[in-house]
Amino acid sequence: MTGMRIGTRTRTRPRLAATVALLAFATAAPTAAAAKPKGEPTPFGHGCTAQNGVRFCPTSTLEQRVSSFDGVPLDVDVTLPASGTGPFPTIVMMHGWGGSKTNFESSTPAGDGNQTFDYNNVYYAQHGYAVVNYSARGWGRSCGSAESRTEPGCKEGWIRLADQRYEARDTQYLLGLLADEGVTKAKSIGVTGISYGGGQSIELAYLKNRIRLPGGEFGPWISPNGKAMQIAAAFPRWPWSDLVDALEPNGRFLDTQIATPTESREPLGVEIQSYVSGLYALGQASGYVAPAGQDPEADLTKWFAVVNAGEPPTAEGKEIADQIYNFHDGYSIPLAGKPAPLLLESGWTDDLFPPEQSLRVYNQVRAAKGYAAVMFGDLGHSRGANKENTDHAFNEAGAALFAARLQHSGGAPKNGSATAYTQTCPTGAPAEGPFSAKSWMKLQTGKVTFGSAGPQTFTSAGGNPSIAAAFDPIGGTSEACKTVAAEEEANTASYTTTSSGFTMLGLPTITANIVETGLYGEIAARLWDVLPSGQQRLITRGVYRLDEGQNGPITFQLHGNGYRFAAGDTVKLQLLGRDAPYYRASNGTFSIEASSVTVTLPTG
pLDDT single digits (tens) 430-468 = 999 999 999 999 999 999 999 999 999 999 999 999 999
Could you report the per-residue pLDDT of 240-278, keeping only the tens digit for each?
Answer: 999 999 999 999 999 999 999 999 999 999 999 999 999
pLDDT at 112: 81
Residue type at 523? I
> Across the chain, what does the average pLDDT equal?
93
What is the four-CA torsion angle of 338, 89, 212, 8, rounded to 10 degrees? 100
Average pLDDT over residues 398-414: 98
User: What is the pTM assigned to this prediction?
Assistant: 0.93
* Sign of the alpha-carbon torsion through 390, 393, 399, 400: negative
Question: What span, in angstroms and rounded, lies between the C-alpha atoms of 207 and 589?
Answer: 44
User: Which residue spans within 463-547 are E strands per DSSP?
Assistant: 483-485, 492-498, 502-506, 509-518, 522-530, 535-545
* Residue ranges, CATH 2.60.120.260, the chain: 446-603
- DSSP conformational letter for 14: -
Percent of the chain at pLDDT exceeding 90 = 92
Contact yes or no for 212/172 (Cβ under 8 A): no
Residues 6+ apart with CB under 8 A from 116: 8, 104, 106
Band of pLDDT at residue 110, cut at 50, 70 and 90: very high
Q: How far apart are the first and last CA of the chain?
A: 38
Question: What span, in angstroms and rounded, lies between the C-alpha atoms of 157 and 155?
Answer: 6
Query: How is domain 22-261+328-437 classified at the architecture level of CATH?
Result: 3-Layer(aba) Sandwich (3.40)
Average pLDDT over residues 225-238: 98
Question: What span, in angstroms and rounded, lies between the C-alpha atoms of 279 and 277?
Answer: 6
pLDDT at 540: 98
* Residue ranges, CATH 3.40.50.1820, the chain: 22-261+328-437
* pLDDT at 237 exceeding the cut of 90: yes
Average pLDDT over residues 361-366: 98
Strand partners, 51: 54
pLDDT at 6: 42
Average pLDDT over residues 297-326: 97
Contact yes or no for 411/389 (Cβ under 8 A): no
User: What is the CATH number assigned to the segment(s) 446-603?
Assistant: 2.60.120.260
